[in-house]
Amino acid sequence: MIARGSAGIVVAPAVPMVAILVGVLVFESMALALLTIPFALAFLAFLVFFRDPPRRIGAGIVSPADGRVLVADPASGRVAIFMGVTNAHVNRAPMAGVVATKRYRPGRFAVASSPASEGNERLEWTFHTDLGTLRLAQVAGIFARRIVPYLDVGDKVKKGQRIGLVRFGSRVDLVLPPGSRLTAAAGDRVRAGESTIAEVPDGVGP
């Protein structure tokens, strides 16, 4: 499955590839066929990058992103996850709740894993959950020049539901709600919707 909001990018290299193949048939020139190689490679790369695989939703508070945990601070409840170019870039809701706010903040495009990325362009969300407010930010990286949200303020969201896409290398920051217990650690590899990053008290919703 291809991520919503990425069809135009995925199809772009296929258009010249098809045009060249038509030229091969018309002019009967196999030399032209060699020109399709870079477009075919780009098409395959985009198919892999913009994949949106199904996930079995995990227990507790789940990771909003695929990637590597950069920060896991039990004192503040802050978690930062870096998404490399080989990760799926569709982000998912860590808990069930309601979208309370959504705010775009312009900024730089520094490497998302570096300290300089604190000033990067981002989309900041707050969700009302059974435990209180959960804060999440989709942070653009050096190549991620577009954040594509799938939800609006007031929308109800299920745990593990897709909330948006960040194109190319980027980061997701999360501040856990009170009452949760952080279980992820810096260096952990996590998968959006599947990996548990924090435990919640018994009786808190799915």
CB atoms within 10 A of CB 3: 23
- Domain shared by 17 and 73, yes or no: no
Domain hosting 101: range is 61-199
Question: Does 63 participate in catalysis according to the annotation?
Answer: no
Secondary structure of the chain in HEC code, one letter for each residue:
CECCCCHHHHHCCHHHHHHHHHHHHHHCCHHHHCCHHHHHHHHHHHHHHCECCCCCCCCCEECCCCEEEEEEECCCCEEEEEECCCCCCEEECCCCEEEEEEEEECCECCCCCCHHHHHECEEEEEEEECCEEEEEEEECCCCCCCEEECCCCCCEECCCCEEEEECCCEEEEEECCCCCEECCCCCCEECCCCCEEEECCCCCCC
Please tell me the distance from the alpha carbon of residue 64 to that of residue 93, in angstroms, as a whole number.
6
- Domain shared by 101 and 128, yes or no: yes
Confidence of residue 105 (pLDDT cuts 50, 70, 90): confident
In a domain, 26, yes or no: yes
pLDDT of the residue at 67: 94
Set 6, 113, 170, 195: catalytic member: 170
What's the structural domain count of the chain?
Answer: 2
- Domain shared by 71 and 141, yes or no: yes
For residue 158, what is the domain's CATH number? 2.70.70.10
Residue pLDDT, tens place only, 2-36: 556 545 554 555 555 555 555 555 555 566 666 66
- Domain shared by 97 and 175, yes or no: yes
pLDDT of the residue at 53: 84
Please tell me the distance from the alpha carbon of residue 29 to that of residue 22, in angstroms, as a whole number.
10
Residue pLDDT, tens place only, 132-172: 999 999 988 665 557 889 999 999 999 999 999 887 668 89
- Domain shared by 94 and 179, yes or no: yes
- Domain shared by 21 and 77, yes or no: no
Decide if pLDDT at 95 tops 60: yes
Confidence of residue 189 (pLDDT cuts 50, 70, 90): very high
Reading across the β-sheet that carries 196-199, which strands appear in turn?
61-62, 196-199, 181-182
- Domain shared by 89 and 143, yes or no: yes
Average pLDDT of the residues of the chain = 80
Residue 32 · residue 45 · CB < 8 Å = no
Confidence of residue 106 (pLDDT cuts 50, 70, 90): confident
- Domain shared by 130 and 39, yes or no: no
Task: Retrieve residue 47's tokens.
Answer: 């198919």
In a domain, 204, yes or no: no
Residue pLDDT, tens place only, 73-93: 999 999 999 988 788 889 999
Q: Which residues of 121-146 are buried (b: 16+ CB within 10 A; e: fewer)?
A: bbbebbbbbebeebbbbbbbbbebee
In a domain, 206, yes or no: no
